[in-house]
Structure 1
Amino acid sequence: MDIPHQRLVYFQVTVEAGSIRRAAARLNIAPSAVSRQIGLLEEAMAASLIERTRDGVQPTRVGEMLLDYILQREKLDQHLGERLDAYQRLETGEIRLIIGEGFVGDIINSPLRAFRKQYPGITLKVDTGSMQSIIDSVIEDEADIGLMYHERVHPQLRFWHSSPQPLVAIMSPEHPLASEAHALTLEEVSQHPMALWGPSHGVRQLMDDGFREAGVRPHMVVQTNSMEVLKQAARSELCITLLPAFASARELQEGVLIARDVECASFRQARAHIITRVGRRMPRASLQLLRHLERWIAAFSGPRQEAW
């Protein structure tokens, strides 16, 4: 039923005051106005709501039902207000994040850990996907924020931050090419066994374009959809792999893997992006997470460490 809130207030105050005259005094209006509003309320309910006794007015059975409804509504309004207040203070809420697998290695221990420490009431839902699935999830509002690699433009995406993340050769320190100080050519890289992403992966597509332009073919011996397989293959000295440095940040810092620049223009132009859907209004919590992610990803675009 569409009952004006004012009529409910007049009825509640009348029951609490015990008479229409005392209710009118509390509301600072004429008693006739209170009677008229209660009459309209009774008409809408198709039932009497109050009855007069020697001690004043009392609610009928239907009036008691309506009074209970009013009290429950007040509790719901209060609860909603408290939830909204907590949401605005970033104490509650959920953020859905979809990222490329290469971001997984460091994102939990860096920006997400810092964000959770600052906003412990926010729930983070984190999924991984290919470049296309990341784009689709963000466009279709299945995810609030996406992190992806390589893609440069898209009419339905807002690029909040993009940082240069060149594709580099990742290998064991014991690999024959590890001692080379110069940027490796694709011809040099192609002469060694390689572990590579499957053909639908964005990094693989970037790599295929680079090798095609150079007129050479990679010597692929391992093909996988697993970041861990790529890194383990490189650590075992079995293969070289091609990844952005941030995908192996921990292993590079620990020295179990090293990175070598590759002489390829398209590799050097690759970027990592933080994206949302064009036109999507971002809640305060999501905006704060975007800031954490921007600072984190920007750190990888600075000068590379000597160990890399």
Structure 2
Amino acid sequence: MDTSSIVPAASVRPMPPEELALQSLTKQLYKSRLFRGYYVERCFVEEVGGYRDVVVLQRSERDLEKMLQNSAAQLQMFYRRLVPNMWVGITSGSYGSYTHTVHPGQLETCIWTELSDLAFGEYWFSIKTLRFRDQEVQLKIKMVRAVEEVTLATPRRSTSLNRSSPIKAITAGGEPETIPESAEQIQLGMADFLAVLQQWGDGIKQTVYDFMANDVNKRNIVGTIRFLGLLIFSAVGGAAVALRFLGVFAVRFLFELSRFTHTATPIVFKLLEFLNKIVGAIFILLTMIWKDLVNRGQPVSKQPQIEPSSRFKRITYERSEPQHRSPRW
């Protein structure tokens, strides 16, 4: 940013902070802005006492025209109390010695600037900065390149002769008049279709070129890159936080699950044992019921009683005498 014109010198009037802020904001708004315009004339400006070059905006620069008109009105309103004779080099229509002529490809907004060694014609310009002088606000622009004139191809028509039958026309008297067989009939052919496609292609190319020249500038590219960078940074940060949350949640879940398993295992075993006993008792009961039902109609067999046998005799033990005891006793 060119700040040499806004820094007050010792011999220049002191500038308040709001004026410095306004100048800086206006410079940032128009810096490196591309536009298309016509360099039409060089006129004398009485307010500044010198000659200025007049650049008229091309008809496609309506957005830039609105911005320039708004900025010119704001600057004139601001400098009305500080510098009453401040002249802003942005006008509309005829001004002073310049007479604006209506042109189908031009707007009414004119930029008064200083160009060096440039022929009249249509060019692509780039706004470098704004110059804030003692009694003048001037846009410093630079010529980028000249605009080449696009010549549109005229459509060609294919003619064919129809000699098989004569063509009849109605005359003023009401009687049909026979046209000679050599009359030409105009018909559309492949060449006309190709010519229309070529015109469409040229129009699309011009539209894309105007879009790239007007909207694709340094400011928009920097803003897009900044937005994409912030978006990627936010996505990466969000993914990291989400992974951290999932990790903490998984660890806590496994810890609580292990505690629950350790505490509930004895209870589950006791429940299984209780259910096992209940099921076993039910099956035993069913077995006994089934056995009783099967043996209900059969006679009960009596077991033979054990009779005392005479083969077994009573055994009596006699107490031994003391003298016959073993030496151990």
Structure number with higher helix proportion: 1
TM-score by length of 2: 0.19
With normalisation by structure 1, the TM-score equals 0.19
- Structure with bigger gyration radius: 2
> Which structure has more RCO (C-alpha within 8 Å, separation ≥ 6)?
1
